[in-house]
Amino acid sequence: MDKEITKLDKCVKAMKKCLKTPNVGNCVCFADAVKVLDREVNKALVSPTDAASVEKLSSLKREIKQMKRVIRGGEKECLGCAHCFASLVFDSFPDAMDQLYLDNEL
């Protein structure tokens, strides 16, 4: 597994911890981080290096899909969590976040 997949895996595991937070579906940080992860996994699936990578990326894609189901529509706000796991995603993939912002998807 290459470094990018390892980084994605670490971020997905961190974001899964957010699912224990009440009303996480209304958290703008969670919603934006999930969008960033989804974009990065889709990008990695375009050119996987081997069968193990495809399998791991597909697994991550399924986990992200489950997280997306939690996100509610409407206005969202930062819940002010003491430790924001979304910041790990934003720090790990700043270019993806910037591009989503420029594409008006955040």
Q: Mean pLDDT over residues 72-94, rounded?
A: 91
Q: Mean pLDDT over residues 88-95, rounded?
A: 92
Q: Give 32: exposed, middle or buried? Use CB within 10 Å, 0-12, 13-18, 19+.
A: buried
What per-residue confidence (pLDDT) applies to 17? 93
Q: Mean pLDDT over residues 35-44, rounded?
A: 93
The overall average pLDDT reported for the chain is 90
What per-residue confidence (pLDDT) applies to 88? 92
Quick one: what percent of the chain has pLDDT higher than 70? 98
CB neighbours of residue 25 within 10 Å: 17
pTM: 0.90
